[in-house]
Amino acid sequence: MALSAVFLIVFTKVFNSYLMQWGFSLQAKKISVDEDLPNFFHCVKLSQADEMVVEQKNMRENFGI
């Protein structure tokens, strides 16, 4: 068990740049988030929005989600 922990620590230290490129590590830079996104139902077509509402209703009635 301790050997696997040591292996993971050494592996992450040696291959840190590759892991960050592949998305397996947290990056040090700040993530930019667009706060001015429109409402979800304004972004999709009305038919798609209706379909999602019906799908949610079906999940709630049949599976209790």
pLDDT digits (tens, 9 = 90+) for 33-49: 777 777 776 788 888 88
Q: What is the pLDDT of residues 52-65, one digit of tens each?
A: 889 999 999 999 87
Contact 12, 25 (CB under 8 A): yes
Residues 21, 27: Cα–Cα separation, whole Å: 9
Contact between 29 and 35 under an 8 Å Cβ cutoff? The reply is: no
The one-letter code for the residue type at 59 is M
Contact assessment for residue 25 and residue 19, using Cβ atoms and an 8 Å cutoff: yes
